[in-house]
Amino acid sequence: MHNDIFVHLLDFPSTSVKETVTCNEDGSYSIFINAKLNQEQQNDAYIHALKHILRLDFESNSSVDRIEAYAHNLYKTG
């Protein structure tokens, strides 16, 4: 895994999307955080995105819905 993570603040059209992550061609990641959020929300969005990167969710074959449910502790294994 490449360790470079770049963070960008962007004005998204609305606050319904808090962040998005892109896996770059060189193995690094770019996290785009909605600049319309307050600082606490931006921090939460960053932590959420970072957890996806650290859990290797972008290499997973699971559905986005399942990955998000797991990320929000809605999906329990076992």
Residue 77 confidence (pLDDT): 47
Q: Which of 52, 1, 54, 42 is nearest to 18 (CA)?
A: 42
The pLDDT of 37-64, averaged and rounded, is 84
Sign of the CA dihedral running 47, 12, 38, 15: negative
Could you give the CA distance from residue 4 to residue 31 in angstroms, rounded to a whole number? 11
Helix (H/G/I), strand (E/B), else coil: 15:
coil
Q: Give the Cα separation of 57 and 68 in Å (integer).
A: 9
Spatial separation of the C-alpha atoms in residues 55 and 72, rounded to whole Å? 13
**What is this structure's pTM?**
0.75
Whether 78 shows a pLDDT value over 50: the answer reads no
pLDDT grade, residue 57 (50/70/90)?
Answer: confident
Which residues, listed in sequence order, are joined to residue 9 by a DSSP beta bridge? Answer: 33
